[in-house]
Structure 1
């Protein structure tokens, strides 16, 4: 059988299908958990969300080290088995009686803690299964699947609650984790394990070594720093800046939803193109261009005269976000050392989460003390400054991926 190195192998698509089912179940489960907490009080809903995020921030680096030590696939099998048990306990708890706030917070803490181990392992699987020449398509496909789960999970969760009741969302999570466990066992039986980190070292030492590898490698360091800047100035646009701007300018919920959807549509268009054609070979320069496009869109939103113009610039921000994410992801993945890929993925994941802990409260504070026009100009300028700085970072600007052109067609059938 001839393997097409320019496209992800079938084994990757099998893993991605299982990941998609699991992600959809997770989104339905979390929706049910937060919705139930919100019925009790907004404070409890915030506590539940925080209980899920805090363990991720605190333990993700150790989760990445564990993935490198034991292997991504074995770690995912154990993590999803635990998640399956937690979700099944949720089904029982929700069916028996309405759980109190403590139970909901404990469930959220358990989900976040296991996610801290599972997310870096899952993010490193493309390195195990996909050739560098197909990494752009593989990462774009993964992004499509995860975004689809985020978009479809909450509506399906709402339908499940309406038709079957709250335990159905936990049942969906249980089923999703079970499907992924079966797929992982299948994939694991057909792959060779990646080189593992020295098991004689302590986990904390391995974490330090992983951070040193990332920040000691010019390209990886540049990607992490630019990703952090992108998370600070561009990622909050759709979930936070769009509602804040719409409310300040007196636009309704329809405009807010349309603008958020326009952002998603722009991002999805780029992702689908990369999935079809592959990522550009000069991935560093293209990623910088994506950040600058997004910066122009955020800044232009300050001058948008009405809802239609605002939705159009939202599309522009989405296009820039799509260009950035579909090129910086495979660039980082290809440059990661195989023996430290889990820890490297944990570092770049933290680079996306930590700035949001600062950006979201700061946006809320500035929105109360300044006009939204000033806020958009500041955030657009911040994104533009980071993009311009990246242009002067030679390791990033000159970074290339293996060419993903389509292989020539051969006559006859491949055996």
Structure 2
């Protein structure tokens, strides 16, 4: 008699932990929405207090510590594990926002805002790489693209919901109200993070003292130097962010104004882009594991670059919105695919450091794009500079092609002459 077993085959990979992924997405939706509301409220309050110089001061007070702490956040995530970093930093951020709400309630000076921005930015830099590590613990390699697409949907929706909420809060209840909402978002994420990280263990401590945290902060840059696939993925992400930001933030409003289309054309284009990105991110959450990597990385990257150039030449607002929607469709698939391919190529035990460096590709590209292309536009004009951006965006699919051809290394390299690493033993956090 022949029997049929219903057990999965040994070759079948583990299934994604969708319950914990759902908790991760829910918590991130809450904390990201609160963060965007707080950004709008803090910037508006700074403008009211001191104009352009004040808001610049607040923005720098948040972004510079965040960029610096990203490097240490990655090293901490690899050393302590993502659970310890996320829970402790989020709890601290919750306390800082609650205290900040009390301080700013009766303050009419800029310095309390600057102080909160410095601490807030530092804590966000610490938790960013650790949050990026969590998804790789919840979804196996073959389903990581779906999880990243789902997370991408949250990141697209957060500014759409959080920005108007922040504008309403600063009018209705002042900056303190926005800080309390951001603190509530942290509380929701903290509760979800307890569920998401339950049972996750701390990496084993080495036998020796090991390098200092300062030296480990450069691990992400060393990974780029040693691994061609990681290096080309970083270049692909940086080129796309660098080329895309100036057209979206500066050139689009300038062209709409110059053509006499009005602010409605800008709103329609950005809305169409967001809708397109949400649709493709949702499709990726369901089907990313079935779509070949060259399609997600190279085809969509080429579509992004071509669409970006087309937006500089379209004759009317309806056509502009239609092209922006198509660009959004490519973006919603391309962005999560870049993150997934990068995560899958990181050597074991180095994901925190690698994600901190990868995050710098976006954070560093923003001010550089504004500075370079704003200066270039004085000579080439808006349309000419926009087309230059589109040409540079084509470097992203080229770099992605080179990354796919490079070998992937999943094992951490052992220096010549060093003994083989012992089998790791986990310790509870």
Query: What is the TM-score with the length of structure 1 in the denominator?
Result: 0.88
Distance 1:221 1:199, change over 3 A: farther
Matched, 1:123 2:126: no
Distance 1:70 1:394, change over 3 A: closer
**Matching residue of 1:18:** 27
Distance 1:281 1:317 in 2: 18
Uncovered stretches (5+) of structure 2, i.e. residues with no partner: 1-6, 409-429
Question: Which secondary structure state, in structure 2, belongs to the residue aligned with residue 278 of structure 1?
Answer: helix
**Matching residue of 1:222:** 232
**Matching residue of 1:98:** 107
Distance 1:18 1:244 in 2: 37
Matched, 1:138 2:141: no
Alignment of 1:8-407 (within 5 A): 8-40=17-49, 41-95=51-105, 97-194=106-203, 200-392=210-402, 394-395=404-405
Distance 1:158 1:363 in 2: 29
1:85-105 deviation per Cα after TM superposition (whole angstroms, max 9, x unaligned) = 11111210232x133111111
Question: Which secondary structure state, in structure 2, belongs to the residue aligned with residue 201 of structure 1?
Answer: coil
Distance 2:237 2:87 in 1: 29
Task: Give structure 1 regions of 4+ aligned residues with deviation exceeding 6 angstroms.
Answer: 1-4
1:63-88 deviation per Cα after TM superposition (whole angstroms, max 9, x unaligned) = 11111111111101111112111111
Which has the higher Rg, Structure 1 or Structure 2?
2
Query: What is the TM-score with the length of structure 2 in the denominator?
Result: 0.86
Contact 2:276 2:326 in 1 (8 A): yes
Uncovered stretches (5+) of structure 1, i.e. residues with no partner: 400-415
Compute the displacement of 1:285 (Å). Answer: 4.7
Distance 1:4 1:38, change over 3 A: farther
Question: Which secondary structure state, in structure 2, belongs to the residue aligned with residue 234 of structure 1?
Answer: helix
Distance 1:86 1:77 in 2: 14
Distance 2:52 2:101 in 1: 23
Compute the displacement of 1:376 (Å). Answer: 1.7
Larger mean Cα displacement after TM superposition, 42-51 or 119-128:
42-51
1:35-90 deviation per Cα after TM superposition (whole angstroms, max 9, x unaligned) = 21122212211221121111122231111111111111110111111211111112
Distance 1:361 1:8 in 2: 43
Distance 1:386 1:134 in 2: 24
Contact 2:169 2:177 in 1 (8 A): yes
Contact 2:235 2:399 in 1 (8 A): no
Distance 1:126 1:194, change over 3 A: farther
Distance 2:271 2:238 in 1: 24
Compute the displacement of 1:315 (Å). Answer: 1.7
Distance 2:116 2:299 in 1: 41
Compute the displacement of 1:394 (Å). Answer: 4.9
Contact 2:233 2:399 in 1 (8 A): no
Distance 1:186 1:387, change over 3 A: closer
Compute the displacement of 1:11 (Å). Answer: 1.7
Distance 2:205 2:341 in 1: 22
Contact 2:89 2:126 in 1 (8 A): yes
Contact 1:24 1:149 in 2 (8 A): yes
Distance 1:191 1:367, change over 3 A: same
Distance 1:17 1:4 in 2: 26
Distance 1:293 1:199 in 2: 49
Larger mean Cα displacement after TM superposition, 317-326 or 343-352:
317-326
Aligned residues: 397
**Matching residue of 1:402:** none
Compute the displacement of 1:281 (Å). Answer: 4.8
Compute the displacement of 1:192 (Å). Answer: 3.6
Distance 2:319 2:271 in 1: 14
Compute the displacement of 1:118 (Å). Answer: 1.0
Question: Which secondary structure state, in structure 2, belongs to the residue aligned with residue 63 of structure 1?
Answer: helix
Distance 1:115 1:58 in 2: 11
Contact 1:28 1:157 in 2 (8 A): yes
Compute the displacement of 1:155 (Å). Answer: 1.1
